[in-house]
Structure 1
Amino acid sequence: MIKFFFTVWMMVAAGSAAPIQTDEQFKTAVASMGTENKLVLMIYTTDDCPECAYMKQKVFHDKAVEAYMKRNFVVIEKNVHKSKLPDGYDFFGIPTMFFIDKAGNKKETIVGSKRAQPFLTELHRIRGIQ
């Protein structure tokens, strides 16, 4: 019985890491990094989300945030109503931001919008745990 549960657990663990690696946008993002030590920032949005629009129009274009993101992240945007979403990256609110390493490991998730300075603080913290 223990062997059965161990086998099931191994299949679940193996299955949970692979889905993002089959996502074409993720593969393209990783390829664009080259040898740079960046993380992928995958953000789930919708067309009618005011918080998403605020993040994209204001926060991501704040001078300090924009410069830090260009140096440390490759951004993928997925519209939850129009894009195929990778397995294992569920959401319960938007915007949802997933921080993923080149191997496809989810490092951190942020749900909701933030002002520029608190968001920049979060970006620094997340880069620190890479």
Structure 2
Amino acid sequence: MSKIILIASLLVSSLFAEIHWMKYDDAIEKAKKENKIVMVMLSREDCPTCEYMDDIVFEDDNVVNEFNKDFLGVHLDIHNDFIPEGLTYIGTPTFHFLNKSERRLDRIDGGANARDFRDKLKEVKANN
């Protein structure tokens, strides 16, 4: 009986898995405590690729599960939010991966499909 309850709770929790976006300073502080990598997504309104990442890629269970294991997310609008020094961009979306000391580990310019983005998350984690 307890196995059934455990399996059911895991299934239900995976149905509601999502990336929890945080403020930059909160993410850095939490990364220091939990030894996680901070991913900063730089985006803007009216960016079709940004919308694709938000609506498709970041809703994919495999991406969300991989992300939530080792990463913390920060979502910043280049026109409306303060962009920390060193987080440059040519276009949007741009993804910066930072360690707990705010040192940049990697960068992605542009979007990706769910499988490729999940693979990139694994690569960033493996290399750091």
Alignment of 1:29-48 (within 5 A): 29-33=27-31, 35-48=33-46
Distance 2:66 2:41 in 1: 17
RMSD: 1.2
* Residue 34 of structure 1, CA deviation: 5.9
1:65 aligns with 63
1:122 aligns with 120
Question: Can you list the C-alpha shifts for 1:83-114, whole angstroms capped at 9, x where unaligned?
Answer: 11112111101100000000110000001010
Question: Can you list the C-alpha shifts for 1:46-90, whole angstroms capped at 9, x where unaligned?
Answer: 111010010011101101000111111110011001011112111
SS of 2:54's equivalent in the other structure is helix
Q: TM-score, normalised by structure 1?
A: 0.77
Alignment of 1:8-87 (within 5 A): 25-33=23-31, 35-87=33-85
- Any gaps of 5 or more consecutive residues in structure 2? 1-22
Distance 1:67 1:76 in 2: 17
How many residues in Structure 1 have an aligned counterpart in Structure 2? 106
- Any gaps of 5 or more consecutive residues in structure 1? 1-24
Q: TM-score, normalised by structure 2?
A: 0.78
